[in-house]
Structure 1
């Protein structure tokens, strides 16, 4: 069985998938940390790999950028490939002063400016949250590894180049730690399908100080987040 976006056959993908936005980060992570690696997908260059980490079967696959993209891939993984948990490992922009470059954010929940949840026809506003057992394990491993981490809400935005320059400050005023573009759709999809999801983010740039990392650093050096995700997979 395959889908329009994934050429994998049933059984090629592990029950837990680590999902960076960048497929090249998936390739780097698989080649660096997994043993007996097998590439299961290359459709649209959205690379996917399965291997073992400390004896556990783990898959890693890119999601692309934005909620429509991760909505497609997470839905297919959950509903057609028997995946039980997806851990997003991404980058984000820090929104508040005490969240610094390369800090790790463990997303407790995701706010959004997206209309993604309208498909569920809910009579109100849906609060998209992560799976607590995954979050609890991530916090424990972050402490164990002495990682500088933060737990809280993020904003998953549909807009990268926002013409309203005050938008991020408004989300910061509500306590959002960082801004990215995928987690609300991931959390909502997991909830609707009775699955688990978590987001770990490394701060790649700060909207407070204007500091930023390079694309190569984002691809290959955010290893603390990657190692936490592998430990809880």
Structure 2
């Protein structure tokens, strides 16, 4: 069995059903929802836990920030046998009326990241797997938490001098949120023949200062932390539904 160079795991340590997230500490919080959860590897930004949910083996893996590290994790997870991957991440709203801690399910993504463009031209769409979308909505529809389906924009920096103008542009075109990893996951996941989806917890109100919004999240505001937990549960339920 071959040890992957960045995740430092082999195929015996990765299940077919995987949750990915950016932040390593979020791996621990998601793993707390599993049975028999145990750490299996940690290297750089990549932390992996293995456990079970409803009897199904589940791997949880952090990817760090941005498309390049997301794609390293994605490729090595696929090399180890991953078949379905859902991102449980955070995002900033691009529409008014999306509150903090409300959930955003990406039907597709605007590919403003450089990582996926290194694989295939921008005309190739970033689309989520329909069966996973259906299962996510099935769970969310039963929760007392607002959620939104739509197009998100994935990008490589929110500290650009013209970031406010870019956000306004895509808001006018109907994008509902922005993050830094979804488009890479959906694009390359599709190229690699796996099922992929992304559910995001809103941590920045539209036109709110980014640093202020992220700071509130780091302070573990209860509403947003509850949003993360519901997003993780939705992902687990989607991954372990029949024929997931």
How far the C-alpha of 1:209 sits from its partner, in A, is 4.6
Q: Partner residue of 2:59?
A: 59
Asked if the contact 2:4/2:10 (under 8 Å) is kept, the reply is no
Distance 2:38 2:64 in 1: 20
In the alignment of these two chains, the number of paired residues is 230
| Structure 1 unmatched runs, 5+ | none
1:87-139 deviations in whole A, cap 9, x for unaligned?
A: 000000011112111110000001022233443454x6121010000001101
Q: Partner residue of 2:242?
A: none
Distance 1:220 1:97 in 2: 21
5 Å-filtered alignment, 1:2-21, equals 2-21=3-22
How far the C-alpha of 1:216 sits from its partner, in A, is 4.2
| Structure 2 unmatched runs, 5+ | 240-244
Distance 2:236 2:126 in 1: 23
Asked if the contact 1:87/1:199 (under 8 Å) is kept, the reply is yes
Distance 1:46 1:53 in 2: 21
Asked if the contact 2:70/2:185 (under 8 Å) is kept, the reply is yes
5 Å-filtered alignment, 1:97-112, equals 97-112=96-111
Q: Partner residue of 1:39?
A: 39
5 Å-filtered alignment, 1:51-130, equals 51-78=51-78, 80-122=79-121, 125-130=123-128
Distance 2:112 2:49 in 1: 32
Asked if the contact 2:67/2:114 (under 8 Å) is kept, the reply is no
Distance 1:43 1:101 in 2: 31
Distance 1:130 1:186 in 2: 9
How far the C-alpha of 1:9 sits from its partner, in A, is 2.3
Q: Partner residue of 2:180?
A: 181
RMSD, matched Cα: 1.8
Asked if the contact 1:25/1:220 (under 8 Å) is kept, the reply is no
Distance 2:208 2:102 in 1: 14
